[in-house]
Amino acid sequence: MSRSPLKVGVVGAGIGRHHLAGYRTLPDDVEIVALCDTNEARLNEIGSMYNVPRYFTDYNELFASGEIEAVSVCLPNSLHAPVSIAALEAGLHVLCEKPLAENLASGQKIAAVAAQASGKFMICFNRRYRLDVQWMKQALSEGLLGRVYHVKAGWVRETGIPGWGGWFLNKDIAGGGPLIDLGVHMLDAVMWLLDYPEPLTVTGAIQANFGPRSAKTWQVSPTPPPYTVEDSATAYIRLSGDVTLNLETSWASHARPGMDDFFITLMGTEGTLELYVANYATENTLTLYTEVGGKPVVTRPAVKVSRSDHEYAIAEFVKCIKEDTPPTASAEQGLTIMQMIEAIYQSAAVGREVVLT
């Protein structure tokens, strides 16, 4: 176990501020050295907020500086591959934001380099580290649910198209809409809970009912910006082990005002376990349905989420570097999720099931 503080940098000062906040909770193990962003106003604002000593506007200069050992890549999706690969090739450990990349091909490039690199590569699938999701994993490992045969999962927003006018709405940069933005979290959490079974077949459908007409957005602009992604997606996926998965995601829909909820329901032969997180709730998110003596029993496990998901993910990344263990959220897992996402888009385009094996 390495005792000297790990020197870290963050590239991208949007969600990157949550990475800075996460690293800041580990003062004995981490030294925050640098922040990089092409937007100098943002760089200065966020850098001073977290007392970051060194600022860069060019990530190549940061990677060549020799000043950091690990980096968080918090950039638009199509930059995940070039920047993560540059960092790995510079010998750095990399924590890359989700999704792995904007598409499967770029994700494959990262995975190929990560497999040969001296540095560790971890993907920031932060939802799986929530304490309530971790508790679900424990319930599964203790056999509380018997055999899981069906899963319902999703993330549904009423008004929540992000980054109006920016890269989130651009298919070439983002790779897609709520499926790759929100669905990616739920797909990873479900797959992780089930020990990453093999995806076998995928049926998907996408819609863009609100974004193109600037409806149900957080911001309003007089001229609708280009909108080339979906604003809702659904999928039915068969997994190895005779498990099926229903997925639902949306950035915009007619629903409870302000709704921004994610959920995972694991249906098993001995019990059903439901996670329902309404508007980022941190308690009362779990319900277990079982039967005792032939009578239905409903239990509310008293699990409280006490830290942000990013804090958990960052603590995990630092731990795997310090203890020299494989990253728990690996490039291979990120690639499996990209394969599922790409199959959903492909199925939506051709209007029928896509067979993956």
Ligand X SMILES: NC(=O)c1ccc[n+]([C@@H]2O[C@H](COP(=O)([O-])OP(=O)(O)OC[C@H]3O[C@@H](n4cnc5c(N)ncnc54)[C@H](O)[C@@H]3O)[C@@H](O)[C@H]2O)c1
At position 195, the amino acid (one-letter code) is: D
- Which amino acid appears at position 12 of this protein? G
Q: From the CB of 222, what's the least distance to ligand X, in Å?
A: 22
| Gap between the Cα atoms of 264 and 247, Å rounded | 9
Q: For residues 261 and 278, is the Cβ–Cβ distance under 8 A?
A: yes
Find the shortest distance in angstroms from Cβ 312 to ligand X: 11
Cβ-based nearer residue to ligand X, 184 or 288: 184
Nearer to ligand X, 86 or 145 (CB): 86
Decide whether 165 or 166 has the Cβ nearer to ligand X.
166
Query: In Å, how far are 162, 319, 333, 340 from 229, measured between CA atoms?
Result: 12, 37, 24, 17
Shortest reach from residue 300's CB to ligand X, in Å: 26
Burial degree of 83 (CB within 10 A; 0-12, 13-18, 19+)? buried
Q: Which is nearer to ligand X, 12 or 47 (CB)?
A: 12
In the complex, least distance from residue 127 CB atom to ligand X, rounded to whole angstroms = 7
Compute the least distance from the CB of residue 58 to ligand X, in Å: 7
**Which is nearer to ligand X, 15 or 200 (by Cβ)?**
15
Q: Give the nearest residue (CB) to ligand X.
A: 14
Our CA dihedral for 233, 238, 240, 244, rounded to 10 degrees, sits at 90
Spatial contact of 96 and 80, defined as CB atoms under 8 Å apart: yes
Nearer to ligand X, 155 or 288 (CB): 155
Q: How far is the CB of 79 from ligand X (least distance, A)?
A: 6
Contact in structure between 73 and 294 (CB atoms under 8 Å): no
- Shortest Cβ distance from residue 189 to ligand X (Å)? 12
8 contact partners, CB below 8 Å, separation of at least 6: 23, 30, 31, 32, 33, 68, 69, 70, 71, 72
> 319 and 120 in contact (C-beta within 8 Å)?
no
Convert 235-274 to b/e letters by CB count within 10 Å (16 or more is b). bbbbbeeebebebbbbbbbeeeeebbbbbbbbbbeebbbb
Interface positions with ligand X (CB under 6 A) = 11-15, 36-39, 42, 59, 74-77, 79, 97-98, 124, 126, 163, 166, 181
Nearer to ligand X, 125 or 140 (CB): 125
